[in-house]
Amino acid sequence: MDARRGAGPRAVPKVRQVGFFTRNPNPNSPSPPSRTRSVPPNSNSPASGNSLSPVMIPPPRHVSENLSYLRTTAAVPVPYSRRIAQEHVTVVGSYNPADSVLGETLSPSFLDDNSDASTTLGWFSRSGSGKLAAASSSLPSGGFDLTAVKFDKFCGLEDKKQSQIPEKIGGVAVEAQNEVPSSSKPNKAKTTKAERRALQESQRAAKAAAKGEGNKSAASSRGAAPAKPQKQPSQKKDDPLVALSIAASDRKGTDRPPEKERKKEVPAPRMQFDDKNRVEKAKKRALVNQTEARNRVELFRHLPQYEHGTLLPDLESKFFQLDQMHPAVYKVGLQYLAGDICGGNARCIAMLHAFQEAIKDYTTPAEKTLVRDLAGKISSYVSFLIECRPLSMSMGNAIRFLKNRIAKLPLTCSESEAKASLCNDIDRFINEKIILADKVIVRHAATKVRDGDVLLTYGSSCVVEMIFLYAHELGKQFRVVVVDSRPKLEGQALLRRLVAKGLSCTYTHINAVSYIMHEVTRVFLGASSVLSNGTVYSRVGTACVAMVAHSFHVPVLICCEAYKFHERVQLDSICSNELGDPNAIAKVPGRIDLDKGTNKENLQHLNLMYDATPSDYVSMIVTDYGMIPPTSVPVIVREYRREYLLI
Amino acid sequence: MDFQVVVLAGGTSKKLVPLVSKEVPKALLPVANRPVLSYVLELLELSNLKDLIVVVEGQDAALCVGAWISGAYIDRLHVEVAAVPEDVGTAGALRAIARHLTAKDILVVSGDLVSDVPPGAVAAAHRRHDAVVTAMLCSAPVSGPSESGSTGGKDKSKNPRCYNIIGLDPTKQFLLYIATGAEIEKGTRIQKSILRASGQMEVRADLMDAHVYAFKRSVLQEVLDQKDTFQSLKQDVLPYLVRSQLKSEVLLNGVQQAEETGNEKGSSQNSHMILSRILSNASAPSFHKLYALGHDGSAPVRRTHKCCAYIASNSKYCVRLNSIQAFMDINRDVIGEASHLSGYSFSAQKYIMHPSAEIGSKTTIGPQCMVGEGSQMGDKCSVKRSVVGRHCRIGSNVKVVNSIVMNHVTIGDGCSIQGSVICSNAQLQERVVLKDCQVGAGFVVSAGCEHKGESLARKEK
């Protein structure tokens, strides 16, 4: 819980600043280029500067005790066109619901603060882009602090409560929505389906009204606007309703697909493994016999954890029964399970290659269409792979890409054409999104290596390794500190390869990171995924290294390909993580097992695979679109997601 | 899964000579009143492998086996029975049917295997490592009658026998060395390069090669084509592949071509290199790869291939029927401790008696026994740990201990049979005493004879 509590208040301003909608007077605000791209200079940005005025007019205090009343009355000043107003709706709505919800559910007296909060919005967004400490101290009213605190509390709320809230609000606000767009801002994030549709239609109408269909800036800014609300709900992604709204909102970010397609795209709410009924159901579907581990840590019950010893033999013995699996897919699954392949890029490439093989061998059965049948096939492969090992987010992105390509296949093209084009697409994805991206990252990051540097890395990241080797090739004089940790000891392989190439290296374990950090001038880290609040999701221990580096004022550079970016927001490493083999930490070769001689009932092993590094500790993210601050991640996600879906 | 299964059912093995005959080839020897081949076929059927090639040595034997298979599995399996000339060996047999092999990998199973190790596990290990050959190893069986001290071992095989000497790498996934026990007495050579590459080698004598192999087809055919003298998979092909794993002479063509095409296009090769580097760095490299890379770690300089081993867990049953002793052991085990293999349900007294079998008064049938269909027994008989086949006629006062009596055998009154095998249609007249004997098919043992440790069979004319 500590992580959650710690991340809460910090993450709040981050959420606010990500969109670059408000004009930012702060000179050290991050990534101006992306702002200019996303916000058109002529119409929208002044609008967004002034836009707060309708919001800022506080409703009469005496009437605001009733929230629904507030909503209908707050709509009074709507001086701008619908379109603009709606953008604000989404902008504000991205975080406001929390406040309003609190106002409703926690304490009615908070309403005053709530309206205060909305009036002080301008300050938030301005100060939020700077340092948090500065922001909170510079606030004239207690509004910010209050909201922050409440927000924090809100995060800690039980899921049950959260799931009730949206319905309540949605019910209240249904009528208000269409007539008075600006009033609906507080509950944007958790609208019901009907509401969303209404909103979408109105947006569509607005779009038609906006003369320039080809006006890129307008389109992009509108596309961008709805991307925001997802930040808010993702804190409680246990809630299926919210999961829906995430999906809906990120679809809106791209070109709007027909309703049907959108429904298909909606990901099922993530499986919670502490829900017994659903686990049972999933088990029946599963191809692999999974025995749940018995002694599990209570806090991580919602994550899948199986007895590792039994999975592999079971899957192996079923080799010939799994007829529906393509051999290549099966092999990759087996390799995931056995741990033969690890590392985000390698897993993703292996998976895509397997899919490529499968597509090559695919023939459409009679009376079926390729698009549907192949998509189903791929889905079954994916669920098989998930059973072998939970997918990484980068793989999720790759799968989404592939499915999109399949769905977009023209109906007229023949089977061989379709297969060839899909294989080609996969090749291009690997080439452009991984290999070329790595090359670009290496070029970028190598400029940050100077003579005499001491570079620290943690674990074994293939991009970081390439950076070191490239910088070495360029003739730069530097030293590398490889920090490693049990149980995987991935750093040893990296160390071996670096030393073989003639780099001078230091090897240490993570226990000594605070000692070694004195001499380090830069920290290069890899990432499994970068989330849109700038949180870096990576091998467990990364957060620790980044934090130590931060406190020693050593810049932390995260090297990560843009295809690993994800629009999800995660504040802690609890709600979504992967549990490794508990035996890996219990058994150390050459020592007595931890399990020996202890009571098994009250000893639980927790082998977490990933952790979340808050964006505060990250100085820069080196990606294939350049070097960006962590606050610019959502821009990349929003602006380039579309492009690579349509690659 | 792109696998083809070849069952090598053998012919009339010389090792089993009084038991096998023209009518009963090795594959049809009864184990718990079922042909031994049925155990393999059912194991494969259980693994969803329904397209099989059964290779039998000798035309006559092939006809027998084919007739039996078509009778028993007509609607369940799709079996092709191929006859190869006698004495070509296992490698020769594969050479003979090479044109039927089309799949990417071939699973070669010996027809005399009685096992419950899933063949899929071997195939999966093979695929996972992209190996050239994967061999299944199981713990060597304890041969000889186990707990009963009543019968001394017939031959020397009661001593713990060394089946194979097997060298494994520290992860127990790769074969570094393999030799049969007989060879090792002359002394052996272990290659320094393999030892150095793997760093460590675990030499085990308690494992047995179960003769279940997964081969990469292209490699297998190449080896069989190039090395005409290779006779046996176990003694020639497998040791050859293991021996040459670090200076591979197979697989050459494929790799070379790939490299050449890569060189043509500079840019694509570059990205290809990065790709392969990402992939290779992601996994812990096997010693093969490290060795192939040489010292500078650049492009591969040496060609290697992988020889894997799948070690069946100790809880699994896995024995080959390749000697008379093994035949008796398997019969004992299948109705005893490995009874789940037999496919019969045991009564509370742990014996199986066909409902049509008749026994006289005061006849006792002990646990771990089996009496087949239509057999008749007189009074005061005693049957312990034995299998009695179908339609046998056993007189009164007969003791059958640790023995196998096949079908249509007539046993006179007052006989005593210990640790013996009596083949079909044999006839034992009154008061015959047999200990550790084999009685060939149709042989008549005259009244009152006592035999010990003999093999009794009709002279072939």
Put simply, whether B298 touches A (Cβ < 8 Å) is no
Task: Please list the residues that pair with A613 across neighbouring strands.
Answer: A536
Return all residues near A609 (Cβ < 8 A) that are at least 6 apart: A539, A540, A577, A578, A579, A580
Put simply, whether B355 touches A (Cβ < 8 Å) is no
- Measured between beta carbons, the chain B residues lying within 8 angstroms of A493 are 281, 284-285
Half-sphere exposure of B179 (CA within 13 A, CB side): 16
Q: Do B274 and A347 touch (CB under 8 A)?
A: no
To the nearest whole Å, the CA of B362 is away from the closest chain A CA by 47
- Measured between beta carbons, the chain B residues lying within 8 angstroms of A431 are 271
Burial zone of B253 (CB within 10 Å; 0-12 exposed, 13-18 middle, 19+ buried): exposed
Q: Do B297 and A334 touch (CB under 8 A)?
A: no
Task: Please list the residues that pair with A453 across neighbouring strands.
Answer: A478
pLDDT of residue A146: 41
Residue B320 has pLDDT above 70, yes or no: yes
pLDDT of residue A102: 40
**Segment of A284-298, A469-483, B270-284, B303-317 carrying the highest mean pLDDT:** A469-483
What is the identity of the amino acid at A451? D
pTM: 0.67
Helix-helix angle B217-226:B89-96, to 10 degrees: 110
- Measured between beta carbons, the chain A residues lying within 8 angstroms of B118 are 316-319
- Measured between beta carbons, the chain A residues lying within 8 angstroms of B297 are 497, 500-501
Give me the mean pLDDT over the A93-116 stretch: 41
Q: In terms of CA atoms, which chain B residue is nearest residue A316? A: B121
* String of DSSP letters for A113-153: HHHHHHHTHHHHHHHHTS-HHHHHHH-SSTHHHHHHHHHHH
Mutate to test the interface with A, among B104, B174, B267, B283 (most CBs of A within 10 A): B283
Q: Do B1 and A497 touch (CB under 8 A)?
A: no
Strand B427-428 with A453-458, pairing: unpaired
Give Cα separations from A229 to A16, A39, A208 (angstroms).
10, 17, 23
Residue B146 has pLDDT above 80, yes or no: no
Q: In terms of CA atoms, which chain A residue is nearest residue B281? A: A462
Put simply, whether B77 touches A (Cβ < 8 Å) is no
Q: What is the pLDDT of residues A510-544, one digit of tens each?
A: 999 999 999 999 999 999 999 989 999 999 999 99
Work out how many CB contacts closer than 8 A connect A with B: 103
Q: Strand order of the sheet with strand A536-539?
A: A565-566, A529-531, A536-539, A610-613
- Mark A342-372 as b/e (b = at least 16 C-beta within 10 Å): bbbbbbbbbbbbbbbbbbeebeeeeeeebbe
Contacts for A402-411: CB closer than 8 Å, 24+ residues apart: A402/A352, A402/A355, A402/A378, A402/A426, A402/A429, A403/A375, A403/A378, A403/A379, A404/A645, A405/A647, A406/A371, A406/A374, A406/A375, A406/A378, A407/A261, A407/A264, A407/A371, A407/A375, A408/A646, A409/A370, A409/A371, A411/A369, A411/A371
CA dihedral angle for residue A556, residue A557, residue A560, residue A562, rounded to 10 degrees: 110
Give me the mean pLDDT over the B36-64 stretch: 86
Residue B124 has pLDDT above 60, yes or no: yes
Q: Strand order of the sheet with strand B202-204?
A: B175-180, B164-168, B202-204
| Residue A317 token pair | 């013995």
Secondary structure letter of residue A512 according to DSSP: G
- Measured between beta carbons, the chain B residues lying within 8 angstroms of A352 are none
What is the C-alpha separation between A592 and A462, in angstroms, rounded? Answer: 34
Q: Do B118 and A500 touch (CB under 8 A)?
A: no
Q: Strand order of the sheet with strand B455-456?
A: B351-353, B369-371, B387-388, B404-405, B421-422, B438-439, B455-456
Q: What is the pLDDT of residues A234-292, one digit of tens each?
A: 334 344 444 444 444 444 444 444 455 444 444 445 666 667 777 777 766 666 666 66
**Segment of A26-40, A471-485, B97-111 carrying the highest mean pLDDT:** A471-485
Cβ-contact B316, B114 below 8 angstroms? no
Cβ-contact B39, B27 below 8 angstroms? no
pLDDT of residue A300: 81
Put simply, whether B119 touches A (Cβ < 8 Å) is yes
- The mean pLDDT of chain A is 68
* Chain A residues near any Cβ of chain B (below 8 Å): 313, 315-323, 327, 330-331, 334-335, 338, 340-343, 345-347, 349-350, 430-431, 434-436, 438-439, 460, 462, 465-466, 493-494, 497, 500-501
Q: In terms of CA atoms, which chain B residue is nearest residue A327? A: B1
- Give the Cα-Cα-Cα angle A297, A302, A305 (nearest 5 degrees): 65
pLDDT of residue A538: 92
Confidence band, pLDDT 50/70/90 cuts, at residue A321 = confident
Burial zone of B295 (CB within 10 Å; 0-12 exposed, 13-18 middle, 19+ buried): exposed
Give me the mean pLDDT over the B451-456 stretch: 84
Put simply, whether B187 touches A (Cβ < 8 Å) is no
* ipTM > 0.85 for the complex: no
What is the C-alpha separation between A16 and A61, in angstroms, rounded? Answer: 25
What is the C-alpha separation between B24 and B19, in angstroms, rounded? Answer: 8
Q: Which of residues 88-107 of B touch A (CB under 8 A)?
A: 104
Cβ-contact A451, A476 below 8 angstroms? yes
Cβ-contact A346, B277 below 8 angstroms? no
- Give the Cα-Cα-Cα angle A180, A253, A236 (nearest 5 degrees): 80
pLDDT of residue A467: 93
